[in-house]
């Protein structure tokens, strides 16, 4: 039996459900029914064994009786031998050839006693970039770029230093 490793739930019923596409298997209640073929073979065997018992009994009775009764027991011994031995064998043969056999096995297969552990699912692929940010602030207008003072360049600063040194000289 297999159980859930976390909660201890019996997994056998789940395996049957998965094996039958989610359908519960049909379970017959009561006595198991014997097939017609098996029943016919059993009848033939019983008739044959009845002949094994009755023919010697009638033969012994025929041997110990005298006169006309001996002939009657001899006739019953011969009749019993023909009916039981030949009839029993014919009944077995007829059942084996012509009668319907046992129903096909159940549609699901029972789980083996050991199953290798299932492979864990592959880990989810992690994105290289974070998820996109959602702006929760209300929208605001862009500033006018004409109002922003442009940055001074490096040569401007050097030029100013040169201008100051000329004034000093």
pLDDT in tens, 78-87: 999 999 999 9
**113 Cβ partners below 8 Å, 6+ apart?**
none
pTM: 0.45
Q: What is the pLDDT of residue 29?
A: 60
**What's the rounded Cα separation, in Å, for the pair 136 and 126?**
25
In the chain, which stretches have pLDDT less than 50? none
| 97-120 confidence digits (pLDDT tens) | 998 887 766 555 555 566 666 666
Q: Residue 127: what pLDDT?
A: 63
Terminal-residue alpha carbon distance, the chain: 103
- Mapped onto helix, strand or coil, the DSSP state of residue 10 is strand
């Amino acid at each position: 039996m297999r159980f859930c490793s976390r909660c201890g739930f019996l997994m056998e019923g789940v395996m049957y459900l998965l094996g039958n596409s989610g359908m519960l298997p049909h379970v017959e209640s009561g006595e198991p029914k014997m097939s017609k073929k098996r029943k016919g073979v059993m009848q033939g065997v019983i008739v044959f064994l009845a002949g094994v018992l009755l023919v010697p009994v009638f033969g012994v009775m025929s041997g110990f009786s005298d006169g006309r009764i001996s002939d009657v027991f001899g006739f019953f011994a011969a009749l019993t031998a023909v009916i039981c031995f030949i009839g029993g064998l014919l009944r077995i043969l007829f059942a084996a050839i012509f009668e319907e056999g046992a129903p096909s096995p159940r549609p699901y297969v029972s789980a083996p006693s050991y199953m290798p552990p299932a492979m864990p699912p592959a880990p989810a692929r992690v994105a290289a970039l974070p998820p996109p940010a959602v702006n929760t602030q209300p929208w605001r207008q862009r500033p006018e770029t004409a109002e922003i003072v442009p940055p001074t360049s490096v040569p401007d600063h050097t030029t100013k230093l040169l201008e100051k040194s000329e004034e000093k000289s």
